[in-house]
Amino acid sequence: MATMNDVAKLAGVSVSTVSYALTGVRPVTPETRARIHAAMDELGYQPNAIARSLASRRTHIIALLFPGIELGLSGTALEFVTSAAETAREEGYHLMLWPIGDDEVGETRNLIHQQLADGVLVMEVRLDDPRVDLLRESQTPFTLIGRTADAAGLDYADIDFDTTVRDALDHLIGLGHERIAFVSHSKASLDAGYGPTVRAGEAFERHMTERGLPVVARHCDESADAGRAVVSELWHAHPDITALITMNDAATFGAMAQLADDGRQVPRDVSVLSIASSPRVAALSHPRLTTMAAPGTELGRSGVRSLIERIEGSQSATLHELVPCRLDIQATTSPRTKE
Amino acid sequence: MATMNDVAKLAGVSVSTVSYALTGVRPVTPETRARIHAAMDELGYQPNAIARSLASRRTHIIALLFPGIELGLSGTALEFVTSAAETAREEGYHLMLWPIGDDEVGETRNLIHQQLADGVLVMEVRLDDPRVDLLRESQTPFTLIGRTADAAGLDYADIDFDTTVRDALDHLIGLGHERIAFVSHSKASLDAGYGPTVRAGEAFERHMTERGLPVVARHCDESADAGRAVVSELWHAHPDITALITMNDAATFGAMAQLADDGRQVPRDVSVLSIASSPRVAALSHPRLTTMAAPGTELGRSGVRSLIERIEGSQSATLHELVPCRLDIQATTSPRTKE
DNA sequence: TGGTGATGTCGAAACGCTTCGACGATGCGT
DNA sequence: ACGCATCGTCGAAGCGTTTCGACATCACCA
């Protein structure tokens, strides 16, 4: 494979001039540049990424830290990862996957010290996340997908659960619903400090309370059966519920099935609105689910962009981006039917 | 950050000795080794991955080539990618994502020439795939996930569609079904030479013919509506169908809905078996789908393992691994009811 | 007891690039 | 016409490793 030396010889210039022609760090006359490019074409030259990295102290690699165990995001995760990878590529960077096992902090530290990545994208951030302290200490540029409890001064891109829940309620209340229940992720995820569970729960409580409506919320394991059980229990305790907000795909489908079994028609008797989900999943439901789709693509894009700006030192302010899920009205929500 | 030089000084040896202590390429006395390790601990030393790569001509990076447009695999893609990343990590490698846009060959060539990766994993391989020729010419070690029409001499790991379809038929025929229809991916995917569509279709035709059963197969776009339409058309043309094999998640759910609307109960009147799908998706169906789950995890693991062996030159034979989908019997298949 | 072959360590040369200081050759203002 | 800044190029010194040849040292066998 041709090296810069070969190009320099063929073009009759020094290596440094070739480098300048390539990077534009210093001016080069058009004629010299032309000769150099001709030589590069003739040799099929491509700069060696590793050598360049070593010399410039920039690898143009972004690491994506994701935990082995996958909680809520997983439905949108692929979308997010794809978008992050594509954005990175557009900006001249590469995305490297760093699956992290049990020893989160230790493994993360090792990886950082290898200096393979210019910056790190952290997925599945919990309210209190030790990886954040580690990254901060190690001076590595990083951006969170999600955010810790106190994220002041940190770059992050996260779902705007508050707005999402508010929009969800606006939609349902606009349709005349008042008895609205919320079916969330598992209690375990709440205890683990999983952001979406915590924040969506808080938002639901606040917005319902502000509107003077009763707060009915349940945690639910990620399975259809759990979804069924919750529905049974819910209607037993609150027979007057007319709408359901869910944030748990498996449970949503279980809930739909149980409602059908109980003779409750969706959306005639009960409206169902699934938040932080995806169109792909919504399309599998019959009737097709009204959802609020998680903005995986947007988060991937702005997370990467911001991280790159931070790496290149061109960043003005810290990124605090909150993107709400977008409402996609399909067939499972409709006006409340008066009895 | 500490370098090898710092370690060498602190331990009172030369850099090369430190290197030998680290890599074991040449012997080092236990005492020297101990002093070196002590120095490394004291300094919190970790070898710089880039420098190591440049000197050793091994980056320990594996590239995953995946096309922007995503066809069939996508449901299992996340599982596959996760598994590949984890396996790579276990073996001391990193997985780097290479999303490829329109200019497949050009972009792939550029990436290879940068010499960032020791080897390449190619996803979404078509029967006639120009990337394969490119990789072969460029001497880069690579492994296919999927395979071309003539894959002799190439390393690949793919779904064993023949066995999968046979097992699917064994299951259904064992239940007494004889009029079995196959609903596949879109005609477009067939024309594009998408392996799963082609191979599963051929397998279905062959196995049905061998058993003296009529071949009824349809292509179907990836949407619930298309699934509905195909079901309507199918029963119009072949009212005696008692079982459906599907390979198209969105269409499967549409088909289930249409069957319900037409008053055909699953599985009493019609058995439905969804192949190359995933338990995650199956769980969303009510009744829960009998599926044959795509072996994403296995393919990721053995693809990466084989690639690494090839990179390190320790590979004996070429990898020709075919993994069938595993049957997971749930609630949508049952014995044929005699009329 | 002298030659032989391991064994353990060192110094220096890569690996392919970026970047810094230096230095003619220009162009400019006065 | 003279100095001075700017432009374009060069050579050399890194970047932090690995790896190669060389060279003592030591044990061992003839």
Residue B212's pLDDT is: 96
Residue A297's pLDDT is: 93
Q: How far is the CA of A39 from the C1' of D11 (A)?
A: 21
Q: At what angle do helices B224-237 and B249-261 cross, to 10 degrees?
A: 60
CA B6 vs. chain centroid, Å, equals 44
3-state secondary structure of A182: strand
Mean model confidence pLDDT for chain B: 93
Residue B71's pLDDT is: 47
Nearest to A295 by CA among A77, A122, A88, A87: A77
User: How far is residue B231's CA from residue B254's CA, in Å, rounded to a whole number?
Assistant: 9
Structural domains in chain A? 4-47 (1.10.260.40), 61-159+296-324 (3.40.50.2300), 161-293 (3.40.50.2300)
pLDDT at A60 over 70: yes
Q: Enter the DSSP assignment of A267.
A: T
Nearest to B284 among A49, A86, A249 (CB): A249
Q: Using one digit for the tens of pLDDT, what is the confidence trace for A209-263? A: 999 999 999 999 999 999 999 999 999 999 999 999 999 999 999 999 999 999 9
Nearest CA in chain B to A250: B284
Nearest to B96 among A81, A94, A113 (CB): A94
SS3 track for A150-181: CCCCCCEEEECHHHHHHHHHHHHHHCCCCCEE
Contact A99 B114 (CB under 8 A): no
pLDDT at B78 over 90: no
* β-pair type (A326-328, A290-293): antiparallel
Contact B50 A115 (CB under 8 A): yes
Residue B338's pLDDT is: 66
Query: Sign of the C-alpha dihedral, residues B88, B310, B146, B211?
Result: negative
Q: pLDDT band at residue A73, thresholds of 50, 70 and 90?
A: very low
A226 and chain B in contact, CB less than 8 A:
no
Give the bases of strand D that a protein CB approaches within 7 Å. 7-12, 14-21
Q: What is the mean pLDDT of residues A296-320?
A: 90
Q: What is the mean pLDDT of residues B185-214?
A: 95
User: Could you give the C-alpha distances from A287 to A260, B133, B147, B253, B282, in angstroms and in order?
Assistant: 11, 46, 38, 11, 17
Residue B72's pLDDT is: 44
Q: How far is the CA of A16 from the C1' of C22 (A)?
A: 14
Mean model confidence pLDDT for chain A: 93
For B:98-127, CB contacts with A below 8 A are: 98-99, 110, 113-116
* B-chain residues near A68 (CB < 8 A): 82, 86
pLDDT at A69 over 90: no
Q: pLDDT band at residue A71, thresholds of 50, 70 and 90?
A: very low
Q: What is the mean pLDDT of residues A55-65?
A: 96
Nearest to B78 among A1, A44, A77 (CB): A77
Amino acid at site B102: D
Containing A330, the helix (H) or strand (E) segment is none
Q: Using one digit for the tens of pLDDT, what is the confidence trace for B112-128? A: 999 999 999 999 898 99
pLDDT at A124 over 60: yes
User: How far is residue B97's CA from residue B91's CA, in Å, rounded to a whole number?
Assistant: 17
Q: What percent of chain A has pLDDT over 90?
A: 83
Contact A286 B257 (CB under 8 A): yes
Q: Using one digit for the tens of pLDDT, what is the confidence trace for A183-196? A: 999 999 999 888 99
Residue B27 and residue B72 in contact, taking contact as beta carbons nearer than 8 Å: no
DSSP E strand stretches across A68-186: 94-100, 119-122, 142-145, 156-159, 180-183
Contact A283 B94 (CB under 8 A): no
Give the bases of strand C that a protein CB approaches within 7 Å. 7-12, 14-21
Residue B140's pLDDT is: 93
- Phi first, then psi: what are they for A66, rounded to 5°? -135, 140
Cis amide prior to B239 (ω within 30 degrees)? no
Nearest CA in chain A to B1: A113
Q: pLDDT band at residue A72, thresholds of 50, 70 and 90?
A: very low
The total number of residues shown for chain A amounts to 339
pLDDT at A49 over 80: yes
